[in-house]
Amino acid sequence: MRVFIIGPDGSGKSTAAWLLSNELMCSCAETGEAIIQALAFVFAGGKDGSDDSRHYWAMSIRKRKDEFRRELKAMGDLMTALKPTALIDECANRARIVVGVRRLSEAQGYLQRCGWNDSIWIRMERNDSSKAGFELSDWPVHFRIGNERTLSVLQEKLRVIAGHVQNQ
């Protein structure tokens, strides 16, 4: 069973994934990291680029994500246009928890292939109710977590969800 953590930018998805992965003693993978790696590959010269160059570009993109936001979005859109589940598949091959599914076509493609019963969906929600640019704001989920920005409260909420996941 896969666990998907979705939500708008700044909602605490990565923190929640890290906490949940510790509770479940499993790994998590972020779709954003798959996009960073693909973009670094292109900037480094594709298959002719060196590993050092790809590593440099990946680090640079991670550190200056806001400056690369447009390119990251374009790369994610391209990857999912070619294969709607490309990012989910990349992450699901490496981890039980997948963080950052953003596109409706991704989620629909996964459900068509694997079904609803093979997954648990968690939506992190920002306190300011911002949903700007988040296609899955109305996506049905098993759990909604309002992030009050208190680590202990978030950890307790995820502990309850971890118990539910373990019983599935």
Cα-to-chain-centroid distance, residue 42: 21
In this structure, what token pair is assigned to residue 46?
Answer: 């594709």
Look at residue 133 in the predicted model and tell me its pLDDT: 65
**Least confident segment among 3-12, 81-90, 121-130:** 121-130
- The reported pTM is 0.88
Inter-residue contact 155 to 149 (CB < 8 Å): no
CA distances from 163 to 8, 23, 55, 153, 166 (A): 25, 9, 38, 16, 5
In this structure, what token pair is assigned to residue 158?
Answer: 């995820």
Cα-to-chain-centroid distance, residue 27: 13
Q: Which phi and psi (to 5°) does residue 120 adopt?
A: -125, 130
Inter-residue contact 27 to 99 (CB < 8 Å): no
Inter-residue contact 118 to 141 (CB < 8 Å): no
Mind listing the domains of the chain with CATH numbers? 2-166 (3.40.50.300)
Confidence class of residue 118 from pLDDT cuts 50, 70 and 90?
confident
CA distance 61 to 64: 5
Inter-residue contact 81 to 106 (CB < 8 Å): no
Taking residue 148's Cβ as centre, other Cβ atoms within 10 Å add up to 12
Considering the chain, what is the average pLDDT of its residues? 91
In this structure, what token pair is assigned to residue 58?
Answer: 């990946």
Inter-residue contact 75 to 64 (CB < 8 Å): no
pLDDT digits (tens, 9 = 90+) for 38-57: 999 999 999 999 999 999 99
